[in-house]
Amino acid sequence: MRILITGFVVFLIWSLFSVWLYVARLQPAMQGAVTVQTIPQPEAEIAEPPAPPVEVMPGELMVSFDFDQSVFTSDQQTDSRIAEYKEWTGKHSGSVIVVTGHTDNIGTREYNQQLGLRRARTVQQYLASKGIPAGQITIVSEGESRPVADNATSEGRAGNRRAEISIKK
């Protein structure tokens, strides 16, 4: 019975303390002026419209030739790349297609220079037959002066027998 009385007294003291705490401290604090601190929001940034897509100029195209030949056979991949060149030159009238003829190092420099020029002319005529204006095509011969592979091997020489097609603005 003593425990019950002690528990009741403790409960009574705790209840009185809770009421006093609520009435004397918490309620006046809740009824008083509340200071609200506002955080300034940055102005909503208006997104700029996306930039128009940038046209990508067609990359360099290489046409391979057989030994001592200036005739090439086009394929579907070459024709589709040439169509890209035609479309580009149609949209950008100031651009020029440069066709550069190259050879391996077999033969004299003079002969290779002329062979490179014949290869460039062949490609120029082919481009013109595909509808690219001849006035927008320039031909150059580098002969054997700019190899891309080693002329000591037959594979390297085959890689050097080429014509490069590129666009200059």
Choose between 6 and 91: higher pLDDT: 6
Burial 59-94 (b: 16+ CB within 10 A, else e): eebebebeeeebebeeeeebeebbeebbebbeeeee
Topology, domain 61-168: 60s Ribosomal Protein L30; Chain: A; (3.30.1330)
The rounded distance, in Å, linking the Cα atoms of 164 and 101 is 7
According to the model, what pLDDT value does residue 9 have?
Answer: 93
Write out the two tokens for 131. Answer: 């509808």
According to the model, what pLDDT value does residue 122 have?
Answer: 92
* Sign of the dihedral defined by the CA atoms of residues 146, 97, 120, 60, in that order: positive
Mean pLDDT, rounded, for 112-134: 90
pLDDT digits (tens, 9 = 90+) for 18-63: 988 888 887 877 776 667 777 777 777 777 787 777 777 778 888 8
Does this model's pTM top 0.85? My answer is no
The rounded distance, in Å, linking the Cα atoms of 149 and 95 is 29
pLDDT digits (tens, 9 = 90+) for 3-15: 989 999 999 999 9
Which amino acid type is present at position 150? D
